Each structure stands twice: as structure tokens, then as C-alpha cells.
Amino acid sequence: MGCFFSRRRKPSQGGQQQQQQQPQQGQDGPAGGQKAPQYSWDQRAKIDPKDYTFSGLKNETVGRLPGKVAGQQFVIQDCENCSIYIFDHSATITIDDCINCQIFLGPVKGSVFFRDCKDCKCIVACQQFRTRDCRKLEVFLCCATQPIIESSTGMKFGCFQYYYPELALQFKDAGLSIFNNTWSNIHDFTPVSGENNWGLLPETAVVQDYVPLPSSEELKAVRISTDATKSIIPITRGRRQKSSDESCLAVFFAGDYTTANARKLIDEMSGKGFQLVQTKEVLMKAEDAHRVFQQCASEFIPLLEKGPVVALEFNGDGAVEGCQSTINEVFSGTKVFVSESKASASQDVDNFYNFADMQMGM
């Protein structure tokens, strides 16, 4: 593990005498009428690493409330039979040598790294996810990049689903998009021939059965919902087998209501029985538009300058017609690209997500 914060070096005796003489010379300090200079290491020295560490705990429920971590890095180590909740955004989190723990980690701007852990159940949102030398971890995951496991066995993954009022802003503070989630696209660095070190949790898996709501009075103040319909992250099928050969692509362009419109379409399509396979939020250039939107590109190129697009893939018999009718009924005043026909829909989906994966380095 890396060092949390550097310590201030104590000045030498000669340095102390020089500092004591400076106010008399009118250079610094109150005697000179000037404030002492402030340095970044002075600010870091005020942060106590113990406030950002859970270590050596057994049979305890512990956590941090919203606003208490505020983008710092965090360490969890040598904990057993514990329930641990980080209801805030952080820089990075390492989890080492933990056994039979239930862990919730709010949005992590960088990496989450599990090492030498076993029999843990987790809910995690992060930019990068990695495990090494772990056994039997069950993880509801939101990860912006491809999750990686190494020398790990018995790993199970599901789509992140959670809500509390501060969570949306925490995702923003961590620089994470709720639409970029590759939870099921696992890369195994150390595959074993004839064996599979990882799999997917059952579709019927209920988050609260794996990571229960906190029992301590302090943490009960967080207004949590594990209802999938309220999840801050849209619930996607990921790499589960599709129920139909027919998929449809819908793309919303940047604007004041892009996220709300995308969520509305998800609700409408889900209500009609269609399944959300995957989502993406990514910047596009004019040359990208020609590749993805083809003959419709000229219509949408001016909209790309406003910001990233949000793309949704729906699956199910009649998905194209269902999406087109929903767009016409609910979003008649909004510019949306939607697959024109069943014949072109599959190619539309492939074109967009191949482009998006290249942009995101996957």
C-alpha cells in the first residue's frame, strides 16, 4: 500500500533561530504586518490517516456518512465478519485480507483493489476494479473500464443497484457517468484451462440479501433504497444471453435534460417488456457520426458539439417499433437517433458500441 500523506520535516535548530529572527526584520509574521505563507503540505498535515482507515476490526458495523471522506483515499484491511459502508466518494480504495465482510463503497474516482480477501459480499462503483488472490467474492458492480481479476476464484458479478439522495452528486464528484458500466465484461488475467474463475449472479439476486442495510443508529440516517427501479445506475443485462434476435439503438444528444430523457425512455421501454442491454455516454466527432449514423449523419453532426451523447440498447421482439413509437409519443420535440428498421438495428448497435469501446480503450 502507498503512503497516505507525507510528514512535515522538523526544521533544524539553526532554521528555528532564523524563523524567530524574521519577524524582527519585518519580513514575515505579525511583526511585519504580513501573513505567513500557506503551503499545500501544511493543509495535508491536518488530515489524520486514521480517519480514512478501517483496520483489524471483528464483528463490527462501521462506516462513513456522506461528506466525511470527500475524495480522500481509503484503506480497509484485516477485517473479519464486519459490515462496512462508505457513503461518500473517494479517490482510491484498497481492501486487503478481509474475511466474510459485507462492504458498500460509494463512487471511487480511481481504482478499487481487493487483495487476499475471501467470502465477501460487496457493492462497488469505481473507475477501475481489480482483484488479486481472492476467493468467493460476490460483487454488485458499476465499473467504467473493464474489470480485472487475477489469481482469483469463485467470483460472481451483478449490476450495481443502489440509491440514496447524495449518490448522484457523488458520482459527479468522482467523475463517473451513470451510463458507463461494464460490470459483466470481466477480464481474467490468470485463466485456468477447463475452468471458469468467475460468473454472473442470478438475475433474481436482491442486493439487500447480500449487503443488508446498516444496523447502527448513525448510518441509519442515510436514506437508502435497494429497489432496482430507483437505482442511480440503470440496471442492464450486460453479457447475459439476449432474449431476442432484435435489438434497437437510441441515442440522446447533449442538452439540459439528456439524463432525464434517457431515464424516461428506459422506464417506458421497460414498462413495455423490453430489456435494457447496455448504455454508454461518450463524446463523438463529425467523423464518428458518419460511421455510426451513416446516411443520417449530417442531421446530427451539429448536435455533437454540445457534449457527450447517451446511447441505449434495448432488446426484445418488436424493440425497434416499440422504441420508435415511444420516441414519437413521449419525445416528439427532442432530437433522438433511433434505429430505422429491424434490418439495420443490429448494425447500428454494433457500429456505435464498437466505436464507444475504442474511445474508452476497451
Q: What is the DSSP string of 236-249?
A: --TTSPPS-S-EEE
The verdict on whether residue 300 carries a ligand-binding annotation is no
Long-range interactions of 216-224: CB distance < 8 A, separation 24+: 216/61, 216/62, 216/63, 218/63, 218/65, 219/61, 219/63, 219/65, 219/85, 219/87, 221/65, 222/65, 222/66, 222/85, 222/87, 222/164, 223/164, 223/165, 224/162, 224/163, 224/164
More confident residue, 146 or 362: 146
How far, rounded to the nearest angstrom, does the alpha carbon of residue 73 sit from its chain's CA centroid? 15
How far, rounded to the nearest angstrom, does the alpha carbon of residue 260 sit from its chain's CA centroid? 19
The verdict on whether residue 111 carries a ligand-binding annotation is yes
Cα-based distances in Å from 292 to 111, 135, 351: 31, 41, 5
The verdict on whether residue 152 carries a ligand-binding annotation is no
Amino acid at 107: P
More confident residue, 267 or 41: 267
Q: What's the CA gap between 55 and 98, in Å, rounded?
A: 9
Q: Is the pLDDT of residue 39 over 70?
A: no
Residues 6+ apart with CB under 8 A from 351: 291, 292, 294
Q: What's the CA gap between 42 and 119, in Å, rounded?
A: 41
Average pLDDT over residues 65-89: 97
The verdict on whether residue 72 carries a ligand-binding annotation is no
Asked if 251 contacts 309 with a C-beta cutoff of 8 angstroms, the reply is yes
Q: How confident is the model at residue 83 (pLDDT cuts 50, 70, 90)?
A: very high
Pairing of strands 247-252, 309-315: antiparallel
Q: What's the CA gap between 256 and 334, in Å, rounded?
A: 11
Domains in the chain, please, with CATH?
Answer: 50-221 (2.160.20.70), 242-361 (3.30.70.141)
Q: What's the CA gap between 90 and 314, in Å, rounded?
A: 32
Q: What's the CA gap between 64 and 68, in Å, rounded?
A: 6
Q: Is the pLDDT of residue 179 over 70?
A: yes
Q: Is the pLDDT of residue 226 over 90?
A: yes
Average pLDDT over residues 77-82: 98
The verdict on whether residue 129 carries a ligand-binding annotation is yes
More confident residue, 311 or 342: 311
Average pLDDT over residues 6-11: 40
Task: Give the pLDDT confidence score for residue 358 in this predicted structure.
Answer: 77
The verdict on whether residue 24 carries a ligand-binding annotation is no
Cα-based distances in Å from 278 to 178, 313, 315: 11, 5, 10
Pairing of strands 247-252, 336-338: antiparallel
Does an H or E element contain 102, and which?
A: strand 102-115
Task: Give the pLDDT confidence score for residue 9 in this predicted structure.
Answer: 41
Q: What's the CA gap between 168 and 165, in Å, rounded?
A: 7
Q: How confident is the model at residue 44 (pLDDT cuts 50, 70, 90)?
A: low
Instruction: Measure the CA angle with vertex 137, ends 95 and 198; round to 5°.
Output: 125
Q: What is the pTM of this model?
A: 0.85
Name which of 173, 167, 170, 159 is nearest 223 in CA terms.
167
